[in-house]
Structure formats: C-alpha cells, structure tokens
A and B are shown apart, each in its own frame.
Chain A
Amino acid sequence: MLDLMLLGISEIFQIHILIVIFLGVIAGILAGLIPGFTVTMAIVLTLPLTFGMEPVTGVATMIGVLVGGMSGGLITATLLGIPGTPSAVATTFDAFPMARKGKAGKALSIGIWASFLSSIISFFILISIAPQIANLALEFGPWEMFSLIVAALTIIASVTGESILKGLIGGVFGLLIATVGADPISGITRFTFDLDVLRAGIPFLVVLIGMFAISRLFDSVERTELDRDIKQKQEDKIQGIKFVLKPKETLISVIRKPVNLIRSSVIGAIIGAIPGAGGSIANLIAYDQAKKWSKESDKFGTGHEEGVVASEAGNNSTVGGDLIPTIALGIPGSAVTAVLLSALMVHGLNPGPLLITNEPNIVGGIFIAFLVASFFMLISQFLGIRYFVKVTEIQTHILFPLIMLLCVVGTFVLNNRITDIYLLFIIGIVGYLFTKYKIALAPIIIGVILGPIAEVNLRRAFMSDPEWTLFLTRPISVTFLILAVVSILFTIWQSRKSSSR
C-alpha cells in the first residue's frame, strides 16, 4: 500500500504533470457548470488530447477533469437553481434557497468544502478497498470474469434509464458493436459487409463521442431546449449576484457536523462503486438520508446548510467509489471511468485485476492524482469562482459549433482516418434516436468496452474445458450470475410495484 503511494508521489510530483492536472480540474469545473455540457462530454473530449502524453500524465489529466467536473455543477446549482450536471440535482434543493436569501457565498463555500472533504474520505476508501478486491480477483478464471461482466452489465442496465428492458437492449447492442472488426482470438474480420469503414472495427472513442457528445448536442438545438436555455439566461443575470466567500468560517461549520459529512461520503462511495449508479443517484440518496437522520429535517429544502453538505459530499465521493471496480477489476462503473479505461488501453496497458501488480506506478499515479486534483479543485474553486461564473453566459449558438468541431477533431486524431468521422456521424444519429426513445447510453458504452473482454473469457473458458456447467458450479461464478438474475427480477418487481400504485 505504502509502496503504491510512494510510487504515485514520485510519478505525479513533476511540474508538467501538476500543471496538466490543474488545467484538467479547471476544464472539468467549466464543463460541470455549463448547463447542457456534461462531465462525460468533457472527459471524452479530453481523451484525444492525452494520446501524445505519457500514460500517467494522460490518466492524471482525466482524473483532474473528473474531480473538477463533479464540483462544477455546484456553482450553477447555487446561483441559478439549475443543475449544471445531472449530479447536482439535489444541490439545488438547499443551495439555491440559500442564495436567494443572500447567502450565496456561504452556500458556495460550504459546497466546496463538502466536495473537497468527501473526496478525501472517498480517497481513503478507495486506497484501502481497491487492492483487496484486486487480490481477490486474481483468483478469477475465465468463468468468473465472464460471469462478472454479465453481472456488471445487467446491474448497469437495471440501474440506469427508465426500463430494464431498454437497458438490456442497450447493453447487448453495445456488445454487438464491439464484435465488428477483428475477432479477438483468431483475428478473423467479422461483420464488415465489405465496407472499408468497418474493416478496423468501430473504435471505442468514436462510439463514445458519437453517443455522448454528438447526440447531446443535437438534443440541445431542439426548439423547446433552445427556448428554455435562452429564457434562463435572460432571467438570471448572475453577475448581479454579489457574494463573499468565507473559507475559514464555513470549514468550521462543515466540520462541526462530521456525521452528516461522513455518512454522505460513504453513501456516495458505495453508490459510486455499483456499476451504473453514479453521481446523479448518490446526490439524491445522500440528500434524502441526511434529511431522514437530521434533527431539523423540516428545514431541508428551505436553504439548510446540512442539505448542501449532504448533496455535494454525496456526488463528489462517487469518484473514489467509481474508481474501485475500475482499477481493481477492470470493470468501469460509469461512462466516465469507461473513458479512463480506454485511455489506459490506448497506451497499451491492460486493465484488470493484474493492473495493480503489473503497473503499480500507474495505479499509484491514479491514486495520488486523485488526491492532488482534490486540492487543486479546492484552491481553484475558491480563487476562481468569480470568473467561472461568467462562462455560463456563453450561448448555445457559439457553444454548439465549437464542441462539434472538437468532436470531429477528437475522432480524427485517434487514427488519422477520415472514415472514422463518417462512423461518428452515423453513431451520433443512432445515439440521438436512442436518447429520444429513452434507451440509456451508459449500458451501450460499457457493453462496447467490455465486449471483447467478455468474448475472450467466454471462449477461453470453453477452450480449457468444454463443460458449460462450470459457469454454474464454480462458486464465485455462480454468485455473479445469481446477482445478475436478482438485479433483473428486483427491478421488474420494483417497477410493477410502483406502477400498481
């Protein structure tokens, strides 16, 4: 454990890496606070920029974006009452009323401290749990790996989106996208239909940019979306709001109630570690629990400090939780960590249980980068918040073409292939249609990244022993499969219950 940390410190504490983490944090904050621009989009678009960097530098940059982005939503949630990212929904409940009462500065600094402290708590949860899980996973054979992926995908499908059926469709669709191109074991090309575009397969990054950025952009130019955006910008002239941040006093008031902070952070970390459930869910659940346990629960929703602490601690600590399965098992829990894994793959590293043993400097680097990014987030939020606020005034008609351009460039940079951009166009349309009919995108993305791993492990299992019942007789494997079935049944039961009401 300590070796990992020391390795990480020696990797990260170099001037150029610290600078890129800092830039990443600022980019993340900006992405988090612009409504309509999500953290996922930001991290997807950062990926192409990291191709030319060393693996540690690249991953550290993306961690910076992630940590910054989770705290960026706080600013718009407090000042405008609209969540800049989906993971700041509960933050609006109390932070916005506080701002309306003239305590905007207090709300912001409480939120910043809660974000920071919960990041630190989830950092300790991450470094103490991830290596243990990885050790456990070293015992996994191909049967366990395959069952684990099945379980992860079904859980993601049941947690995200409106119906489990659509979630599962998304997951299988993603797995199918991954089968295009060379077969991972014998190298035979499949499903190219004699099209040059498809010969090299459908690159993961293209699917990511197409599904998460392009489809979201099309969404933002629908008439109702556009009107709402313009209306919001006219209503709230944020530069009119004056606020004074009081870092010292608010720190004391946050720390004075440690139970709330720790409870919300632990909830966030646990939810973050569950595949599919991320900041948006943790934010709401942490808020809800804080309200349930609080002595002054009737004050929640009227501008109560505890509500701000709970919601911000809840969403920021998901980052640490999310990294647990990503590092320990190579299974991303969300679209964001899926991008992180693909960054590792681009650099030729193999995510999985062996990552900690084989690449301790990378893992240590990720841990320390997370810690450093949290500090940078704290500093830049307190010093720069006045300037960040200005960014929300950029209008859609300028943002839209610029982000579109970045998407196209990012896709091109991957392989220097124009044909990838044609694919991007098609996938963007498919992604847009899927979001219109509420087929969640996260299962698709996770399906694409886990597809090859699932296939390799399935075929390896049959190569070493053609007996298929091994999936059901090996205890760990069958546990995962039972988990998958239970998550499907539970979701169906839950939706039956809520619809009969």
Chain B
Amino acid sequence: MGEIVIGILLILLSALIYFNSGDFPQLNETHLDPGSYPKLLALLLFLLSLILVIKSSVNLLKSKTSLFDSGIKDFLKKQWKEYKLVVYSLVILGLYILLLNVLGFIISSIAFIIAAGLLIGPKKKKDLITISIVSFVVTFGVYFFFENVLYVRFPNGIFF
C-alpha cells in the first residue's frame, strides 16, 4: 500500500522536475543546457517509480489477505498505538523549530527537552527533576560552547 503511495508521489515529483526544466536561460552554445541533466534524472526516476508502483500493485492484488481483515477501526487503533509517539514528537519538534526565532534558543531548547522527555518517558516527579536538570545543563553547555568557541550567534528571541 504505502509503496504505491510513495511511488505515485515520486512520479509526481519527476513530472514536476521534468516540466520545470525547459525554461532555463541558455547562456552559450553548449550541447547540454542546465535543464538536460535534471530531465534525464527525472525520466529515470519516473521509470523506476513506475516499475515500483506496478510491482507493488501486482503484489497487493495477488495477496488475498487484506490489512483490514479485523475491521478498519481495529487496524487504525493498532497503528495509532504504534505511531502515536512518532506523531507527537514530530509535532513537538515542529513547534520547537517554529518558536526558535520567537522565544530564542535558550528558552525554546529547555522547553523542548523537557516536553519531549516527559512525552516519551515516565511522568513522575523524579523524572521531571532529572530531565529539567539535564535540559538546563545541556542547553547552556551547547550555547556557551558554540557562542564562545565556534562564534555562532544563536537566535536570541524577543525577550533578550
């Protein structure tokens, strides 16, 4: 199933690349312009993905047993249990990245470490203390190391 979806997405990608490769300005009389090599790759990717889609469709039709044998609701429930934390941690990471510019490196990093640690691990008081200490030490350690040794400027955010 998933393979077919990925294959179709890749086919769309190759079409996108192919049809965007035609209108680059020509600088000189060369035999290959900036668009030819990507076009070649797009064609290759198209062919390979097409084979993948066909192959997986054939396999899917051949195998009689469907994924949804025990009811679609049950299937989704199992999937959700398995991938719940992946989705949540994706959301937390996304928020962290978005807030980095607003809250600044230090505040958002500390918040991120604590949030992710509590999300994945146990949520007792002792764990909260451990992860908080870890987050402070690591965030400030990274901050001072990169600012003073490698001269990196981290985003400071609106508070400083």
Give the chain A neighbours of B113 by CB distance below 8 A: 401-402, 405
Q: Is there an interface contact between B45 and A173, defined as CB atoms closer than 8 Å?
A: yes
Contact A413 to B82, CB < 8 A, known contacts A165-B51, A165-B52, A402-B138: no
Give the chain A neighbours of B30 by CB distance below 8 A: 459, 462-463
Q: Nearest Cβ distance between residue B131 and chain A, in whole angstroms?
A: 7
Q: Nearest Cβ distance between residue A436 and chain B, in whole angstroms?
A: 7
Q: Nearest Cβ distance between residue A172 and chain B, in whole angstroms?
A: 5
In the A-B complex, the 6 residue pairs with the closest CB atoms: A397-B121, A401-B116, A397-B120, A401-B113, A183-B34, A221-B85
Give the chain A neighbours of B93 by CB distance below 8 A: 404, 425, 428
Of residues 1 through 58 on chain B, the ones whose CB sits less than 8 Å from some CB of chain A are: 2-3, 6, 10, 13, 17, 20-21, 24-25, 27, 30-32, 34-35, 37-38, 41-42, 44-45, 48-49, 51-52, 55
| CB contact between B49 and one of A49, A169, A223, A418 (< 8 Å): that residue | A169
- Specify the main secondary structure of chain A where it touches its partner: helix
Whether A224 sits at the interface, judged by CB under 8 Å, is yes
Give the chain A neighbours of B35 by CB distance below 8 A: 190
Q: Nearest Cβ distance between residue A479 and chain B, in whole angstroms?
A: 22
| CB contact between B45 and one of A172, A218, A424, A436 (< 8 Å): that residue | A172
Q: Is there an interface contact between A222 and B97, defined as CB atoms closer than 8 Å?
A: no
Give the chain A neighbours of B127 by CB distance below 8 A: 397
Task: Identify the B interface with A (CB < 8 A).
Answer: 2-3, 6, 10, 13, 17, 20-21, 24-25, 27, 30-32, 34-35, 37-38, 41-42, 44-45, 48-49, 51-52, 55, 81-86, 89-90, 93-94, 96-97, 100-101, 109, 112-122, 127, 130-131, 134-135, 138-139, 142, 146, 149-155
| CB contact between B48 and one of A169, A185, A405, A425 (< 8 Å): that residue | A169
Q: Is there an interface contact between B152 and A185, defined as CB atoms closer than 8 Å?
A: no
Number of A residues with CB within 8 Å of any CB on chain B: 60
Give the chain B neighbours of A436 by CB distance below 8 A: 2
Q: Nearest Cβ distance between residue B112 and chain A, in whole angstroms?
A: 6
Q: Nearest Cβ distance between residue A168 and chain B, in whole angstroms?
A: 5
| CB contact between B32 and one of A190, A422, A439, A459 (< 8 Å): that residue | A459
Alpha-carbon distance A186/B32, docked complex (angstroms): 11
Q: Is there an interface contact between A400 and B146, defined as CB atoms closer than 8 Å?
A: no
